[in-house]
Structure formats: C-alpha cells, structure tokens
Structure 1
C-alpha cells in the first residue's frame, strides 16, 4: 500500500524540478530481436530534470569524474524508469546513464529518479 508521505514528497520534488529544471528527453535503445534480427529501436521520452555538478568531495576520478552530473528527474509523467544504458539529452548535451537510483522507499511510489550521467564523447 502506498504511503501518503511519499506522494507528497513526489509532488514536492516535481514542483521544485519544474521550477528550477528544464525539459529534456530520455532515450532508450531497444536491441534487435536475437532470433529475427532487425535494427535497434530508439524511443524518446519527455522528462523534466535538473542536471547538477557533483560536489568536489565525491569526485574520485574513477567512479565519479569531473565530466559526470547528478541528474534529478521528475518521476511524474515519465513512462519509464531510467536505467543504465539510457541516454539523456538536456540543454544540447547528451549524458550516458552510468548509475540510477529510483528512490522508491515503499515499493510503490517513485519519489524522484537520481541518475549519474556522464557526458557523451
């Protein structure tokens, strides 16, 4: 059963991301069928997000680099859960998703998606 506090936290996160964030797209590439073959299918989903630089104390040069961004994505209205392998296009920059955290504390409500995005070279 959904806890009402998480729905309130989700609404607060959405409101803040809408106020301070930007529109972007999350692209997911589905590989071709292993039996029938074909071409990979790219599907784009519209999202509201805020990309932020990591605090210097978290940058170690291997797990988190200076090119990485911590991206807060509103879970409201997003049809997918961002995962490793997705590409986020925001502000003319593409980020590959390196790590993802759905912030789903009760198993029902995704409060906000926090992903580690690395600038695509």
Structure 2
C-alpha cells in the first residue's frame, strides 16, 4: 500500500530545499451594497515553488508561449491555489493558465501550474 502522506511530506521537503518563495494573490471578497459591489483588497499568501521550465521543443505549435512559467507549488500552504488566483514570481505577477493538483489516492502531493504575464 502506498503511503501518500509520506510522499506529500517528501514533495514538500524537496520543493522547500530546491524552490523559492513566491506569493499567491487572491482577489478580495466584494464589499458594499448588493447593487454596487466594490472589489475588496487582495490577500497575499506565502508559497514555495520550483520552476520546471520547458524546452523549445515544447513551445513549438503548443499552448506554451515564450515567457510562460511552468512549475510545481508545495502543498505547505494556508490556502489551496485556485485558477482565479495570481502568482508573484520574482516581483512579476502572472495569471494561471493551467493549475492542476497531483493527487493520487485522494491526497494532493503538489500543484502543477502554467502561468503567463
């Protein structure tokens, strides 16, 4: 039987050892009257990621564009990342193009993402 909790701990440890700090930015909840809602302030959440990058072979005639960021985000977070979130990497803000949990056996081990400016 596979111990997914142990695999998640290993993924967290490896991403922390080889990754870098980033920030997940989540849009704030709307405030104000129902007929005139105003966007609430964004909330920022610390995260650790490893940039996996891509080769030119992956870029030709695919959905990956020059400047896209591909990587893995640790599950050691206070929120689960969502497609509507943004990610700040090295001071630049990117929108998620794709965000998928790797979750065999019902335990999320890490999040794989593609993000674009």
Question: Displaced runs of 4+ in structure 1, greater than 4 A?
Answer: none
Query: So what's the TM-score if we normalise by structure 2?
Result: 0.83
Relative to structure 1, the CA distance from residue 62 to residue 24 in structure 2 (aligned partners, 3 Å threshold; closer, same or farther) is: same
Residues 85, 98 of structure 1: 8 Å contact kept: no
Structure 1 vs Structure 2 CA RMSD: 2.2
Unmatched 5+ stretches in structure 2: none
Shift of 1:93: 2.3
Unmatched 5+ stretches in structure 1: none
Shift of 1:20: 1.0
Local SS of the residue matching 1:102 = strand
Aligned position for 1:39: 39
Aligned position for 2:49: 49
Shift of 1:8: 1.8
Query: So what's the TM-score if we normalise by structure 1?
Result: 0.81
Residues 51, 70 of structure 1: 8 Å contact kept: yes
Q: Of 15, 18, 36, which residue of structure 1 is paired with 2:16?
A: 18
Please give the alpha-carbon distance, in whole angstroms, between the structure 2 residues aligned to 1:5 and 1:79: 23
Local SS of the residue matching 1:64 = coil
Work out whether 1:73 is the aligned partner of 2:87: no
Residues 27, 42 of structure 1: 8 Å contact kept: yes
Aligned position for 1:100: 99
Aligned length in residues? 115
Flag the structure with higher strand content: 2
Shift of 1:30: 3.6
